[in-house]
Structure 1
Amino acid sequence: MIFTNPKMTFTLFPHKIWRNPLQEQVGRGDILHYGDPQGEPALRDSISSYLRQFRGLRCTPEQIVIGGDQYTLSSLLALMLREYSDSLGFEDPGYHLLPSIFQRHGFRTVPLPLDKDGLNVERLIGSGAQVLYVSPSHQFPCGMTMPIARRMRLLEWALNNGGLLIEDDYDGEFRYHGRPIPSMQGLADHSPVVYMGSFAQSVSPALCLHYMVLPEALLPAYYRLKNELYLEHSASRLNQMALHDFMERGHFGRHLRRMRQLYERKHDAVIRSINRHFGDAAALSGRNAGFHLLLTVKSGGTEEELAAAARKADARIAPMGYTWWNRPSWTEPSFILGFGGIPEERIDDGIRALKEAWLD
């Protein structure tokens, strides 16, 4: 049983529907030429419309840059921001890819602690960081959703101090209970926010389609970089145009609704199973969104010992220890319980196997 994140479910992927726009694009002679380094204009228009309608962004197609992977976009962003800043603050624990890239580009990296609502603003103010990287919709790995009031405080910090926010909305489409919270980027006109998104979770990682929405003030820096480095398109033109057609014909919206319903059922089933098998011996956090929950176990073992015991029971689950930048001397053993790729009918058996490996 694999509880590692990110594992996804593709049993509901509309293969026949997807094949039609892809085959149509293959038949176009001009699709084999070089494309726009910023991304196909048609797809940027579709993404802009989608983000305005469903994620509350205030953006135009001209602000969107499409890339083939997170590394490419994060590296471009680091090169752009070297004109702007030399320091990056980020969540600790958190997702290491972007901070590590910025560090390799010469930025001073500043890990910042969390509280129950997300990143600790007081620690940010005293850090000296000028750029802040956060995941407010569903923090990785702790899973909290940042309240509107905290988001407004971060925007206020950026506006008052000439700062910049990088909002990673990696699974923002998947909220299961409670009212959706709009993106931080859309909370203010001309907000100092770089919004980063992807179709890896909502469609498929095999498409290699990611994007970022730049503030208008950063566009000149992007255009200078594009001309200086002779940038080429890094994402497949075939996939970009097929996805554009997929979105414009309404297939993306229908597929997203089906997948949200499926993952909601899995999310709820995991919570029921944890309550049934672990009771007070475990605690869950990060509910109501995304593809993982944080499972903290009240056990005498370490994360490494418990992970090894799970493997012996034929269950794979990732300790959250690798997400720390500055790991505390002691924390309760906690695990990133990914449920996206597990068949619904096997969830209870998998949770029971973990309980027997850890507590019996």
Structure 2
Amino acid sequence: MTYGRRIIARTIDGSSLDGLILDADSARPLYLQLYDGLRQMILSGAIPGGTRIPSSRVLSESLGVSRFTVVTALDQLVAEGYLSSTRGSGTYVETVPRRDAGKSKVHHEGVVVSDRFEKLVSHRGQALTWRNSLTLNDGSQHLHMASPDHRLFPVHIWSRLTKEVFAEGDFRIVNYREILRPSLLEEQIAKHIAVSRGIRCEPEEVVTTLGAHHAVNLLAELLLNPGDTVAFEEPGMAAIRSIFQSYGCRIEPMHVDASGPDPHTVASRDVKLAFVTAAKQQPMTIGMPMKRKLEMLHWAADRDTLIIEDDLGSEFRYQGGPIPPLKALDQAGQVIYVGAFSMSLLQSLRVGYMIMPRALAEKCRRLIQVRYRALPQFTEQIVGRLIEDGHYARHLHRMRRIYAQRQNQLLDILRSDFADIFEPPEFASGFYNLCYYRDQSIDEDAVLIRCRRNNLGVEQLSYYYANRTSPRKALLVGFAASNEEEIEFATKLLKRCLKPT
């Protein structure tokens, strides 16, 4: 045994303690070192079951440590069942079940362990974890195609509202809320959405969620059975597609043309659910015109199909006024509207919402109560007040102005410095521009790897196709999260990634 810098050979009832290390210079307390060492020796069989442990006085003298150290370590081992102690009889090592070395060897070989756990992953888990390399979304990457600039977050207003909520002393907000009754946030969303998106609804039709992906998961749990058919945009949001696949659904492609997703390209008539991005199709940046919206609604009504409309990026339209979503035209209750504050406030807040028929909203609330409880009341109160007091609308106006300037800067650079690489990109809403390569023979995977190495958050168009192959190769280049200097710097890096020396 090593204690400090001395090596002392000791035994317990004939069992050697060589290998038990006690380091007086370590920041870890000696009783924990002794506990760890004895525990490992019991588990390994170095101290066999049935061995009698000497008294704490004898053991402390033998080991050269205080009696308190020994008693504390032994008491913990007794509490965890490694030792058993009977008054008047002594303390003994419990017999620990152990596998034969030959049988347990398989669990210590890296490759075999990897294979073993791969087999344990469910079909749902496989569907959700198919991609090894993901675009980081932690604000660290330049030109990120899906991240806002969190530096623009109104932190002072948020801090003041936080203090106000706490100062009121209503400590019910720290508990789970009564989920069947609308919250302040749901009431404010109903008012805000009427003005900003032209959707008329009651607070009882609004259901808050932990973001848009959580909303889709809720709807999949509530509405879908294995084998149900889901019409999904092609190309479309791969992460959302994988959610439906994880529930055992059959994905029917809804091909995207110049007007957005075309429902008439869906072969099956037995479609239970359709997922669309109408305000700005992800990833093609197409805004769905009125004619296509009406076609979509009529198609859904004819089949009694529900539509999930993810209004991703609708807040960030930089030319002209807002375009009404599908939900604003829905007269038959066919559309479930999904929105979130991730892009306009903070992604880490995980605040989203759905608007749906009241009967379905009540079912959804009951599901949340059983599976997820609810969004924290504290967060709901603050976001609700942010909207109620007009701070949110002013914050959005400021962000639109700044993001529009950044997009103009990026477009100027792309159209001049990248004219030989990309076709001229168009002005688009949202957070990124879609840039088609002039040379369609380019190795886009190699480009993406170089971009990742240079901390660029761009994405390739092929990622959004079900078969990971796009008819035309393109790159999604973001601008919202990068300021003027960062855009200048990052585009120079991008140029080197596209044309390595």
TM-score (norm 2): 0.66
- The equivalences for 1:178-193 within 5 A come to 178-193=320-335
Bigger shift: 293-302 or 153-162? 293-302
Contact 1:144/1:287 (<8 A) preserved: no
Structure 1 pair 2–127 and aligned structure 2 pair: CA distance change class (3 A)? farther
Offset at residue 235 of structure 1 (A):
1.6
- Structure ID, larger Rg: 2
Offset at residue 296 of structure 1 (A):
1.5
Aligned to 2:161: 21
Bigger shift: 191-200 or 34-43? 34-43
Alpha-carbon distance in structure 2 between the residues aligned to 1:279 and 1:159? 46
For 1:201, the aligned partner's letter is M
Aligned length: 357
Alpha-carbon distance in structure 2 between the residues aligned to 1:272 and 1:72? 37
Structure 1 pair 116–354 and aligned structure 2 pair: CA distance change class (3 A)? same
Alpha-carbon distance in structure 2 between the residues aligned to 1:169 and 1:316? 22
Structure 1 pair 301–85 and aligned structure 2 pair: CA distance change class (3 A)? closer
SS in 1 for 2:487: helix
Offset at residue 107 of structure 1 (A):
2.2
Alpha-carbon distance in structure 2 between the residues aligned to 1:39 and 1:197? 20
Offset at residue 248 of structure 1 (A):
0.8
Alpha-carbon distance in structure 2 between the residues aligned to 1:286 and 1:234? 41
Alpha-carbon distance in structure 2 between the residues aligned to 1:251 and 1:218? 31
Aligned to 1:358: 498
For 2:246, the aligned partner's letter is R
TM-score (norm 1): 0.90
- Alignment partner for residue 48 of structure 1, among 190, 206, 211? 190
Aligned to 2:251: 109
SS in 2 for 1:113: strand
Structure with larger RCO (C-alpha < 8 A, sep 6+)? 1
Aligned to 2:410: 270
- Alignment partner for residue 296 of structure 1, among 436, 441, 450? 436
Aligned to 2:465: 324
Contact 1:38/1:233 (<8 A) preserved: no
SS in 2 for 1:90: strand
For 1:92, the aligned partner's letter is E
TM-align CA RMSD: 2.5
Offset at residue 165 of structure 1 (A):
0.8
SS in 1 for 2:447: helix
- The equivalences for 1:32-181 within 5 A come to 32-37=174-179, 41-82=183-224, 86-124=228-266, 126=268, 128-181=270-323
| Identity among equivalent pairs (%) | 27
Aligned to 2:172: 30
For residues 187-224 of structure 1, give each alpha carbon's deviation from its aligned partner in whole angstroms, at most 9, with x where no partner exists.
13343100000011111112111111112452454366
Alpha-carbon distance in structure 2 between the residues aligned to 1:172 and 1:209? 16
For residues 62-103 of structure 1, give each alpha carbon's deviation from its aligned partner in whole angstroms, at most 9, with x where no partner exists.
011111233432222112213899211111221123332222
Alpha-carbon distance in structure 1 between the residues aligned to 2:164 and 2:311? 31
Aligned to 2:348: 206
Contact 2:259/2:292 (<8 A) preserved: yes
Alpha-carbon distance in structure 1 between the residues aligned to 2:382 and 2:366? 29
For 2:370, the aligned partner's letter is Y
Bigger shift: 150-159 or 299-308? 299-308
SS in 1 for 2:428: coil
For 1:174, the aligned partner's letter is F
Structure 1 pair 65–12 and aligned structure 2 pair: CA distance change class (3 A)? same
SS in 2 for 1:143: coil
SS in 1 for 2:150: coil
Alpha-carbon distance in structure 1 between the residues aligned to 2:464 and 2:480? 19
> Is 2:372 the partner of 1:235?
no
For 1:131, the aligned partner's letter is L
For 1:44, the aligned partner's letter is E
Contact 1:142/1:285 (<8 A) preserved: no
Q: Which runs of 4+ in 1 moved over 6 A?
A: none
Aligned to 1:338: 478
Contact 2:185/2:380 (<8 A) preserved: yes
For residues 142-196 of structure 1, give each alpha carbon's deviation from its aligned partner in whole angstroms, at most 9, with x where no partner exists.
1111111111110111122211111001211110013321011011334310000
Alpha-carbon distance in structure 2 between the residues aligned to 1:110 and 1:344? 42
Unaligned runs of 5+ in 1: none
